[in-house]
């Protein structure tokens, strides 16, 4: 099933956990640009703002994950039956599996930004502007829960951050054909988000018994609007069966957080969302990857709070 929707403006903030008081929301993308002396300065301002939002929400996700693991360890040490022990162990597996999936996807998004900068032949590629250290890629490798976690270096000092050609060539078309997504990098972007979604759901539930995955895959949101986001969430519920109301609400909200419009209106034309989002300079394209990273982080927050609730009910 495919949801046909009306033309609307895409607003990043509405993809956050709207009922989560802890989620830090980005500013509304529907507001008009206030052009500074340089359009690139405006891209930089938006990038810096959204990067702060990503960092703040990552702190929330990290805190919830640590609280979840500590809670599991405490309950396992006092469990009285094998059934209880297995239940807590399973929650621990689910938590770590989702964390691993999210880390892998974050690294993929960061590596794609690094690849754009590398292709632009920027002389400051790999340079950490804070301490002057030079890296092999335009990111540092840290560790989170024993896994490599990529952290993108600053972009403000790049000489070619205004390059329009590289993002389009990498993620849209090598031939300059407007609105046709024909590069593997571009076609995989949305797939990577939906693969993360489905793998996470499979880990949390016996999903093959409860989810029609073919129907879920075909349930998309063509263009963004407030009403169509609600329609999408209700459509996801029709893909679910034999689940209680709380689990249905959890899954449909999880899918809503991660959904990306298929299309966007730009210059009075309807084109693939990816084509519109990467017809921008490197700095604007990097901002799009922050959008993807934020969605994944918000989905982590949603999952960890759900699992913490299950643990509290089991006490």
Strands 263-266 and 147-152: unpaired
Residue 262 has pLDDT above 70, yes or no: yes
Dist. CA 250–CA 94, nearest whole Å = 15
Q: Is residue 80 part of a domain?
A: yes
Q: Is residue 31 part of a domain?
A: no
| 3-class secondary structure, 158 | coil
Q: Is residue 178 part of a domain?
A: yes
Residue 138 has pLDDT above 50, yes or no: yes
- 244, with CB counted inside 10 A (0-12, 13-18, 19+), is exposed
Dist. CA 92–CA 83, nearest whole Å = 14
Residue 26 has pLDDT above 50, yes or no: no
Residue 14 has pLDDT above 50, yes or no: no
Residue 8 has pLDDT above 60, yes or no: no
Total count of domains within the chain: 1
pLDDT in tens, 139-161: 999 998 889 999 999 999 999 99
- Window from 77-86, 133-142, 288-297 with minimum mean pLDDT: 77-86
Model confidence band, residue 181 (pLDDT cutoffs 50, 70, 90): confident
pLDDT at 94: 96
Dist. CA 293–CA 299, nearest whole Å = 10
pLDDT at 207: 65
- 126, with CB counted inside 10 A (0-12, 13-18, 19+), is middle
Does pTM top 0.75 for this prediction?
A: yes
Q: Is residue 156 part of a domain?
A: no
Q: Is residue 6 part of a domain?
A: no
Q: Is residue 26 part of a domain?
A: no
Q: Is residue 132 part of a domain?
A: no
pLDDT at 125: 98
Q: 120 versus 11: which is more confidently predicted? A: 120
Dist. CA 294–CA 288, nearest whole Å = 10
Dist. CA 279–CA 290, nearest whole Å = 16
**Cβ-contact 151, 140 below 8 angstroms:** yes
Model confidence band, residue 310 (pLDDT cutoffs 50, 70, 90): very high
Model confidence band, residue 268 (pLDDT cutoffs 50, 70, 90): confident
pLDDT in tens, 28-67: 444 333 334 478 888 999 999 999 999 999 999 999 999 9
Give the DSSP letter of residue 14. G
Q: Is residue 279 part of a domain?
A: yes
pLDDT at 177: 60
**Cβ-contact 235, 228 below 8 angstroms:** no
- Window from 147-161, 166-180, 297-311 with minimum mean pLDDT: 166-180
Its domain, for residue 217, covers 12-17+36-122+161-314
pLDDT at 103: 97
pLDDT at 128: 96
- Window from 6-15, 210-219, 232-241 with minimum mean pLDDT: 6-15
pLDDT in tens, 219-246: 999 998 889 999 999 999 999 999 999 9
């Amino acid at each position: 099933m495919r949801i046909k929707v009306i033309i609307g403006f895409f607003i990043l903030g509405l993809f956050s956990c709207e009922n989560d008081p802890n989620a830090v929301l980005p500013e509304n993308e529907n507001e008009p640009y206030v052009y500074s002396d340089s359009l690139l300065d405006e891209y930089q301002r938006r990038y810096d703002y959204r990067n702060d939002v990503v960092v703040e929400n990552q702190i929330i996700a990290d805190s919830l994950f640590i609280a979840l693991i500590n809670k599991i360890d405490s309950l396992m040490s006092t469990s009285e039956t094998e059934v209880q022990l297995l239940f807590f162990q399973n929650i621990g597996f689910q938590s770590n599996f989702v964390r691993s999936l999210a880390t892998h996807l974050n690294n993929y998004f960061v590596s794609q930004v690094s690849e754009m900068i590398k292709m632009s032949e920027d002389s400051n590629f790999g340079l950490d502007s804070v301490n002057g250290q030079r890296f092999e890629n335009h990111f540092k490798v840290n560790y989170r829960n024993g896994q490599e976690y990529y952290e993108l270096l600053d972009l403000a000092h790049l000489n070619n951050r205004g390059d329009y050609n590289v993002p389009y060539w990498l993620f849209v078309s090598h031939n300059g054909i407007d609105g046709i997504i024909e590069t593997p990098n571009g076609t995989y972007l949305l797939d990577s988000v939906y693969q993360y979604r489905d793998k996470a759901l499979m880990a949390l539930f016996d999903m093959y018994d409860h989810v029609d995955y073919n129907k879920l895959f075909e349930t998309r949101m063509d263009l963004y609007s407030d009403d169509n986001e609600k329609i999408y969430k209700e459509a996801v519920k029709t893909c679910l069966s034999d689940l209680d109301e709380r689990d249905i609400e959890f899954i449909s909200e999880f899918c809503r957080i991660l959904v990306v419009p298929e299309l966007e209106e730009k210059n009075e034309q309807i084109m693939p969302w990816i084509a519109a989002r990467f017809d921008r300079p490197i700095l604007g394209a990097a901002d799009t990857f922050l959008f993807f990273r934020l969605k994944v982080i918000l989905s982590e927050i949603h999952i960890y709070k759900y699992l913490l609730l299950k643990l509290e009910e089991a006490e």
